[in-house]
Amino acid sequence: MVQILNNKNIARSNKRILIAKLGLDGHDRGVKIIINMLKDAGYQVIYSGLHKLPMQIVQIGVQEDVDAIGFSILSGSHVELITDFLEIWKTFDDPNVSIFAGGIISKTDEIKLKAIGVDEVFPTETDLKIILAKIDDRMLT
């Protein structure tokens, strides 16, 4: 499918998103789809690779000066890992960076994640269009 280049793609092309895999989780089918979707929408997408520690993701985010960080976690330990990450992230302090999380995340965990500072949560089977729309809301305003 040939995507028609629109003004939104041009606006997105200056925005940098880090897509990260945290912890012992090798399931990367979903993250690859998300990366492709964001790239086709025009974003600059940085992929961390598998099995990274919270500290390493913080370093990538800082060095790359990203506008948003999205986590894909299917191991079930999303609350613990993202809590660890945010603790270190806050010491480097960049409040403008949006944080997203996706994966097998229950309704109760979604509330927990939003309480610790995650901006949007995308459980499995969320429509790609909805994901893009919500990310656009945070990034393009």
Partner 1 sequence: MIDSEILDAFVRNPNLINVKSYHSIAKIISALEQGSTIPQQFYNGNADKNENCVTVGITGGAGAGKSSFINKLISYIVQAKYSVAIVLIDPSSKLTKGTLLGDRIRMNPDYFEKNVYIRSLSTLDHVGNVPSFLDDVVKCMKIIGFDFILIETIGIGQSDDEVKKYVENIIYIPSNENYDWIQQHKSSIHDITDIYFINKNDIQDTNRIQTSIEEYLELMKQYRQKTPAIFCGNSINGDGIVEVYKALSKKLKNGSNIE
Residue 141 makes contact with partner 1 by CB under 8 A: no
103 makes contact with partner 1 (CB under 8 A) = no
Q: In 89-107, which positions are buried (b, 16+ CB within 10 angstroms) versus exposed (e)? A: beeeeeeebbbbbbbebee
Taking CB under 8 A as the binding criterion, the range among 12-20, 107-115, 116-124, 129-137 that sits at the site for partner 1 is 12-20
- Candidate segments 10-18, 70-78, 99-107, 123-131, binder of partner 1 by CB under 8 A: 10-18
Residue 31 as a binder of partner 1 (CB under 8 A): the answer is no
Pull the structure tokens for residue 22.
Answer: 């945290």
Q: Contacting partner 1 (CB under 8 A), which of 52, 97, 105, 121?
A: 52
Question: 26 burial class (0-12, 13-18, 19+ CB within 10 angstroms)?
Answer: exposed
Query: If DSSP states are collapsed to H, E and C, what string results for 60-85?
Result: HHHHHCCCEEEEEECCCCHHHHHHHH
Near partner 1 by CB under 8 A: residue from 26, 30, 31, 45: 45
In Å, how far are 23, 29, 100, 110, 127 from 119, measured between CA atoms? 21, 23, 6, 10, 17
Placement of tokens 């994901």 in the chain: 131
By CB under 8 A, name the one of 22, 25, 42, 72 that touches partner 1. 42
Query: Of residues 25, 34, 43, 81, which one binds partner 1 by CB under 8 A?
Result: 43
- Chain positions contacting partner 1, by CB under 8 A: 2-3, 5, 9-10, 12-14, 35-36, 38-49, 52-53, 55-56, 59-60, 62-65, 92, 94
